Amino acid sequence: MKQINPSIIYPIENWHVSETEFDITTNQRSETIFTVGNGYIGIRGCLEENSSELENHTLPGTYINGFYETAPIIYGEAAHGYAKNHQTILNVPNALPVTITMDGEKISLFTGKITNHTRKINFKNGLYERHITWTSAKTGKQIAVSFSRLVSFTRKHIAALKIQVIPINFTQADINIESALQGAVTNQEHDGDPRAGATFSGQVLRTKETIQQNGILGLVQETLASELEIASGIKHSMPGEITQKTDFWSEKWYFDGSEPIEITKFISYVATTENNREMLCNELATASSLGFDTLLQEQTAFLTDFWETADIQVTGDDALQQALRFNAFHLLQSVGRDGKTNIAAKGVTGEGYEGHYFWDTEIFIFPFFVFTKPEIAKKLLKHRYSLLPNAKERARDLACSGALFPWRTINGEEASAYYPAGTAQIHINADIMHALKLYVEVTGDTQFLREKGLEMLIETSRFYMDYGDFVAGRGFTINGVTGPDEYTALINNNTYTNLMVKDQLEFLVASLTEEISTQFDVTDTEIKQWKQAAKQMYIHRTDSALIGQDDSFLTKGKWPFEATNKAQYPLLLHFHPMKIYQKQVLKQADLILAMVLQSERFTAEEKLVNYDYYEPLTTHDSSLSPATHAIIAAELDRMEQAVSFFYYTARTDLDDYHHNVKDGVHTAAMAGSWLAIVYGFAGLRIKNGNLHFQPKLPKEWTSYQFRITFQGRLIEVTTNLKGTTYRLIHGETISIFSDNNSLQL
Amino acid sequence: MKQINPSIIYPIENWHVSETEFDITTNQRSETIFTVGNGYIGIRGCLEENSSELENHTLPGTYINGFYETAPIIYGEAAHGYAKNHQTILNVPNALPVTITMDGEKISLFTGKITNHTRKINFKNGLYERHITWTSAKTGKQIAVSFSRLVSFTRKHIAALKIQVIPINFTQADINIESALQGAVTNQEHDGDPRAGATFSGQVLRTKETIQQNGILGLVQETLASELEIASGIKHSMPGEITQKTDFWSEKWYFDGSEPIEITKFISYVATTENNREMLCNELATASSLGFDTLLQEQTAFLTDFWETADIQVTGDDALQQALRFNAFHLLQSVGRDGKTNIAAKGVTGEGYEGHYFWDTEIFIFPFFVFTKPEIAKKLLKHRYSLLPNAKERARDLACSGALFPWRTINGEEASAYYPAGTAQIHINADIMHALKLYVEVTGDTQFLREKGLEMLIETSRFYMDYGDFVAGRGFTINGVTGPDEYTALINNNTYTNLMVKDQLEFLVASLTEEISTQFDVTDTEIKQWKQAAKQMYIHRTDSALIGQDDSFLTKGKWPFEATNKAQYPLLLHFHPMKIYQKQVLKQADLILAMVLQSERFTAEEKLVNYDYYEPLTTHDSSLSPATHAIIAAELDRMEQAVSFFYYTARTDLDDYHHNVKDGVHTAAMAGSWLAIVYGFAGLRIKNGNLHFQPKLPKEWTSYQFRITFQGRLIEVTTNLKGTTYRLIHGETISIFSDNNSLQL
């Protein structure tokens, strides 16, 4: 097990995360932490004023989920069927810039004297707030400046920034405020870390039209290669002098310093190619007529509803309590809720992993939403369904029938430029189908299964049947794949993959109807083969309870952990992949994850033996990993390890364990903290359609409480020193199981 | 077994290859076939006159072995330890251009009337000859033009072109001849085939100096990135009017058509950075003072000596006879003989595989030279030794001790941009050491072993010891490699690799002296581990005589051969590597090759069973493959298959089986034809330091005869319908074995 040294960065607070000092060296990280977003728009927590001193210490960024540029992938040596194009989430026009001067002096963190500087986000109302108290070194005049930002959860295309300037110790000063929309923006330059983003440099948004009407300043731009359009605009709550510089639309105001100033900047982004200009103008008109306070009320109401089901309360560790809320809040900010977008590995907080959607969605994040906000989970599945045509095409690229979903993508096309850790992870199909099954189990929405789910099930299963082989003496084998553990590649019969496919095939066969079979040309022979493959699915078992991660894993030499120093982690940045692949070493949970998702397919002994075998070999170089180990450690009563792993996953971002929060939050690790409580300490599993719990309370805590929705009910689970109580908050009576005892709620 | 449809392209002749008609559609192929070279300089058989009609139908090319340009390898997704730079053999200034006009009409294949056009190369004197009989459509004047080219085997930096113009049916005409050195040359544009070359476009040679002295026209140029220099120059046997155009140094002459004209153009290339200008001028002065005929005499003498040992005579199949000579001749033209260069996969005939050196040298080509011209074989080993520092550095890139030779290279740095079929082929170390062992066995040159060989043996063995693992219950295992078969990648315990490493370790231990051990800090513990690893080397055996190509091969599904149509070969151009790797399908001989190189480590039954198993799974998509199968088929008395495979390897280039001769000859396949006779039909093996033969005569032939050098002797082997006779041509008496019977020669 990897040792982490928790070092709290931000103050521990219940419903906020804040900083009370500005540290230029960690500013990029804080910009990620203080991002506000609504699953469509994400605005990093950057300072409003531009300062040359910030160069190399800021990553200005506003992103639109699903809005990307493409560039051809260049291979040193290309081959047939390789993914063709990079897709990279695009930095869109920056609507933040506000420049305030007093008596000709620019108010910034690098001029005058700062007696107070805070940034904060509030999980209850979704507000970003920044306060500065600034004193002129020349005149001694003191001024308080506040910025309040929100990105509306209820109005997809709307954000707002309120600017307040309060004179403190004077009554007269020349105060100028300039507020802008900066159209010339670029993505970060690539720094060589394969986990970071960007595949092109320079500006890729070309301005097609400018907008100046009804107080709106805006731009309609299009990308060079992907040919997508976006309209961006701002509208202020007070009219001012409008200027246009080369890459800057701005409005300016002049005040005499005699009284407090308040200006609200309404912001909108519409990333559609049709009617974007009209939509933008309408959205801005509506938002500005409602005003900032109304937007904030809507925001608060939306979040109140969210926390009603999503909040987890832990007593006994405030740092964890804060992290759980921070994580849930960021998940909500990151998730696409329109059925046209998904949730990127970094949400809409940064350019890491190029803004791509991975299996992170279905395996780590989906359970959080399906149990708390199932309508969002449905949208995520709908989005995958919309990409089924691409997945079919991709299967053709691999000379296979059926459909293969892309390992990483924005637009549905495969964008993994290194197939051994990309396309070869064909478990992505089964991961998505696992989410579908979970969705149907949790919601009972068989209509979705019939209308969209089964088509995906059939096509992805067809891919597996074609890619796999019945091999005499073995059964159904799936060779030439990479499992979840990316430190092992292109192997045969990855146990995780094979078990997930087995489960998918069983689910498919059980869900098929004659009508559906007819609709998709499913023959009896095909069904028979699905049944056979599921039944005869090859699993690399040994003489003992130890199971091979794949056919070859157990016969490899072990990684020389003792000769590896701390600075050599993550291994992927310090060793050639060949060298990593040839040893017994894991980047992340693999078979252990199968023990969570296919819990009933392992005996208790198998879980114990395999956890003890694989855990010490796991570097957790992937942020996805600790949550899974937390869950199984809890199941195996390794409570100390479970708490430690839970702590790791819960505070991955707040404490920046991977030193790359600057590139964006780790949405899957965030969801992992929810999983670690609900699947881990509370032991939630669905067996035969029923909810089962096996709650345990770590000795460090006095209680935890959470709620889940299940087939129309809302159920509250409270575990404290006295035991666990289950409460049906609403919905019809239901039987659940606690420690295998049936309870009627 | 792959079916080939032999279709003879060029007339069958004993000591020539020629064409009697010009076919523009296949001209690029013929340019390769008619290349003349001396292992340093290679000049493709291109037409002397430039014709715009030839655009897209010619690949003009002159190459210098080891002269290259570099460019950074761009990866879609980079990782630690990847090869950093491409290296590409460079097209150097073109010294061929000769423009002849008569009465203002340019003489070319696209003007006038051609009644005769031939190109020919002669294996006995190394001469390229071209004859044209041309009649003006306007004037009816008929003229005969001849070009004779040679690249001197005895004068590394010298080539020569004789131009003869003979009036046939007239006594007066304005004949102008312009002969040039064209400095502005570029490499081919890349067409997407990974087997072709080029990584940059445009001209990369920058002219530093021009030369115009003592009748010499020349250029000193340097490359942009690799910073190598080359001097190129021409000098004519008659002085003329000298002109310089932008990219063209030329000399012009005016004749009245009253008598035959003869001009010789002496050509020199000196690709060294120091004194290149002086060397060039000296070389040209000497060559021109000797004259063309003297150069030709030297050439003839050199080749007479070569054929003395290298010629194989087959009676009963003239096409094979021609191919054997064509192949041996091209091998000699391709091989670097200066200890600073090696033999590229395409020799100096084209840009395919970027002019890189591969294992082709040691496994396929080396035996030909070591048994016919051992001094050349020694130079090849010396060249590898000169790259040992790079190999040590490369091992460090992989976090290993010792040395790892590059899979493909010119300058000693790894240039494989796709490591699963590149760097992962760590058998390259053992391949080179196998050649070393063969060299010592054949020549008895233990001095070389002591002075250079053992250092390579020690360092490459250290790499294997570090990369491999002792695994309980298995022995010494080598995981995470790719064997010779590139349709199977990143697997464990490739039998070929493991056996070759075993052999190398045994050879090392047997060759070590105390002095050497001290010199290279070899400890007793280290020697013990080498012995242990050799003894305990893991081989993936089964319950039967069938041996796994690696740990996982036998449990894969079989490639759907029946569903694969002919146009889908080579598979690598039509299927994603993932899909290919996951099936039982071979690009080329792998375990079968081990059965040749480690013959005594297999029982007769194992050879039979494994040949029958693997042969049908082998696509022979690699041109390296058929020769190996020919050898084992002969050993197993599968004479029909043996002949067929032999035919394939022998005429791979002459009949253009792979449709890519335009990019260069296949030197390894060429050498394979020698191997197929000597190792195959004659059954040559070295056992305990002794020569063993097991001769067989295919029913299609009446005899074959070849010579080999062995420990200072020259031995002639003749097999005909009566049996086999062995004759000691010179050297001390020696015992050899024929069909396991000892014979004294």
Which of the following is catalytic: B351, B486, B615, B635? B486
> Quick check: is B468 in a domain?
no
Q: Which helix (H) or strand (E) holds B639?
A: helix B639-650
**Residue A232 belongs to domain spanning:** 34-69+86-306
A469, A540, A578, A579: best to mutate for the B interface, most B CBs within 10 A: A578
Q: What is the CATH number of the domain that holds B686?
A: 2.60.420.10
Tell me whether residue B701 is annotated as binding.
no
- Among B75, B397, B574, select the one facing A576 at the smallest CB separation: B397
Tell me whether residue B360 is annotated as binding.
yes
Helices (H), B468-590: 495-511, 514-519, 524-535, 577-581
Instruction: Say how far apart CA A37 and CA A31 lie, in whole Å.
Output: 13
**Which residues face A724 on adjacent strands?**
A719
In chain B, the residue whose alpha carbon lies closest to the alpha carbon of A419 is B578
Give the other-Cβ count within 10 Å of B20's Cβ: 12
pLDDT at position A157 over 60: yes
Helices (H), B340-492: 360, 366-372, 374-386, 388-397, 427-443, 446-448, 454-467
> Quick check: is A212 in a domain?
yes
Instruction: Say how far apart CA B399 and CA A578 lie, in whole Å.
Output: 11
pLDDT at position B92 over 80: yes
Instruction: Say how far apart CA B326 and CA B522 lie, in whole Å.
Output: 46
Instruction: Say how far apart CA A143 and CA A135 lie, in whole Å.
Output: 6
End position of a domain, from candidates B306, B336, B366: B306
- pLDDT category at B246 given cuts 50, 70, 90 is confident
The answer to whether the CB of A419 falls within 8 A of the CB of A82 is: yes
- Which candidate, B433, B400, B394, B399, places its Cα nearest to that of B414? B394
- pLDDT number for residue B248: 86
pLDDT at position A192 over 60: no
Residues on chain A touching B551 (C-beta within 8 angstroms) = 551-552, 555
Instruction: Kindly tell me the burial class for residue A86, based on how many C-beta atoms sit within 10 Å of its own C-beta (0-12, 13-18, 19 or more).
Output: buried
CB contact under 8 A, B417 and A77: yes
Residues on chain B touching A551 (C-beta within 8 angstroms) = 551-552, 555
End position of a domain, from candidates B271, B306, B341: B306
pLDDT at position B198 over 90: no
**B252-261 CB burial, b ≥16 within 10 A, e <16:** ebebebeeeb
Give the other-Cβ count within 10 Å of A78's Cβ: 17
> Quick check: is B376 in a domain?
no
> Quick check: is B665 in a domain?
no
Give the closest-approach CA distance of B619 to chain A in angstroms. Answer: 17
Which of the following is catalytic: A19, A486, A615, A635? A486
Q: What is the CATH number of the domain that holds A169?
A: 2.70.98.40
- pLDDT category at B203 given cuts 50, 70, 90 is confident
Residues on chain B touching A399 (C-beta within 8 angstroms) = 575-576, 579
pLDDT at position A22 over 60: yes
Which tens digit of pLDDT belongs to each residue from A231-285?
999 999 998 889 988 778 999 999 999 999 999 999 999 999 899 999 999 999 9
- pLDDT category at A201 given cuts 50, 70, 90 is confident
End position of a domain, from candidates B287, B306, B325: B306
Residues on chain B touching A420 (C-beta within 8 angstroms) = 420, 490
B486 counts as catalytic:
yes
CB contact under 8 A, A419 and B576: yes
Give the closest-approach CA distance of B540 to chain A in angstroms. Answer: 12
Q: Which range among A36-40, A66-70, A436-440, B7-11 shows the weakest confidence by mean pLDDT?
A: B7-11
The answer to whether the CB of B711 falls within 8 A of the CB of B745 is: no
- pLDDT category at B191 given cuts 50, 70, 90 is low
Give A161-222 as a DSSP string.
EEEEEEESS-S---EEEEEEEE----PPPP-S-TTS--S--S--EEEEEEEEETTEEEEEEE
Instruction: Say how far apart CA A620 and CA A638 lie, in whole Å.
Output: 18
For the segment B254-283, the average pLDDT, to the nearest whole number, is 96
Cα–chain-centroid distance for residue A631? 20
DSSP A681: I
B70, B75, B77: best to mutate for the A interface, most A CBs within 10 A: B77
φ, ψ for residue B98, nearest 5 deg: -135, 125
Count of all residues that appear for chain B in the document: 745
**Crossing angle of helices B639-650 and B625-635, rounded to 10°:** 150
- Among B467, B474, B577, select the one facing A555 at the smallest CB separation: B474
For the segment A203-209, the average pLDDT, to the nearest whole number, is 92
The answer to whether the CB of A436 falls within 8 A of the CB of A449 is: yes
Across A15-157, the runs of DSSP E, i.e. the strands, are: 16-19, 36-37, 41-43, 62-72, 85-91, 98-102, 105-106, 113-122, 128-135, 142-151
> Quick check: is A50 in a domain?
yes
Give the closest-approach CA distance of A622 to chain B in angstroms. Answer: 16
- pLDDT category at B197 given cuts 50, 70, 90 is very low
> Quick check: is B156 in a domain?
yes
Give the other-Cβ count within 10 Å of A257's Cβ: 17
> Quick check: is B411 in a domain?
no
Q: Helix or strand or coil: residue A31?
A: helix
Tell me whether residue B587 is annotated as binding.
yes
Instruction: Say how far apart CA A188 and CA A59 lie, in whole Å.
Output: 7
For the segment A414-428, the average pLDDT, to the nearest whole number, is 97
Q: Are strands A313-315 and A703-710 parallel, antiparallel or unpaired?
A: antiparallel
Give A338-366 as a DSSP string.
SSS----TTTTS--GGGG-B-THIIIIIH
- pLDDT number for residue A402: 98
For the segment B525-546, the average pLDDT, to the nearest whole number, is 98
Which tens digit of pLDDT belongs to each residue from B212-234?
999 999 999 999 898 999 999 99
pLDDT at position B383 over 70: yes
Percent of chain B with pLDDT over 90: 93
Which tens digit of pLDDT belongs to each residue from B483-511?
999 999 999 999 999 999 999 999 999 99
Which tens digit of pLDDT belongs to each residue from B52-66?
999 999 999 999 999
Tokens of B231: 């001097």
Helices (H), A582-713: 591-597, 604-614, 625-635, 639-650, 667-675
- pLDDT number for residue A197: 46
Tokens of B393: 């550095």
CB contact under 8 A, A474 and B555: yes
Tokens of B564: 């694969």
Q: Helix or strand or coil: residue B237?
A: coil
CB contact under 8 A, B81 and A551: no
Residues on chain A touching B467 (C-beta within 8 angstroms) = 579, 582
The answer to whether ipTM exceeds 0.90 is yes
CB contact under 8 A, A471 and B555: yes
Which tens digit of pLDDT belongs to each residue from B327-371?
999 999 999 999 999 999 999 999 999 999 999 999 999 999 999
In chain A, the residue whose alpha carbon lies closest to the alpha carbon of B192 is A78
CA torsion sign, B608 to B610 to B616 to B620? negative
- pLDDT category at A572 given cuts 50, 70, 90 is very high
Q: Are strands A741-744 and B16-19 parallel, antiparallel or unpaired?
A: unpaired
Residue whose tokens read 């300058």: B411
**CA distances, A628 to each of A373, A405, A422, A634, A678 (Å):** 22, 23, 21, 10, 12
Tokens of A305: 């509803």
Q: How many domains does chain B have?
A: 2
Tell me whether residue B28 is annotated as binding.
no
pLDDT at position A2 over 90: no
- Which candidate, A432, A740, A481, A485, places its Cα nearest to that of A618? A485
- pLDDT category at A191 given cuts 50, 70, 90 is low
Percent of chain A with pLDDT over 90: 93
- pLDDT category at A330 given cuts 50, 70, 90 is very high
The answer to whether the CB of A163 falls within 8 A of the CB of A131 is: no
> Quick check: is A48 in a domain?
yes
Residues on chain A touching B424 (C-beta within 8 angstroms) = 578
In chain A, the residue whose alpha carbon lies closest to the alpha carbon of B80 is A576
- Among B86, B481, B576, select the one facing A80 at the smallest CB separation: B576
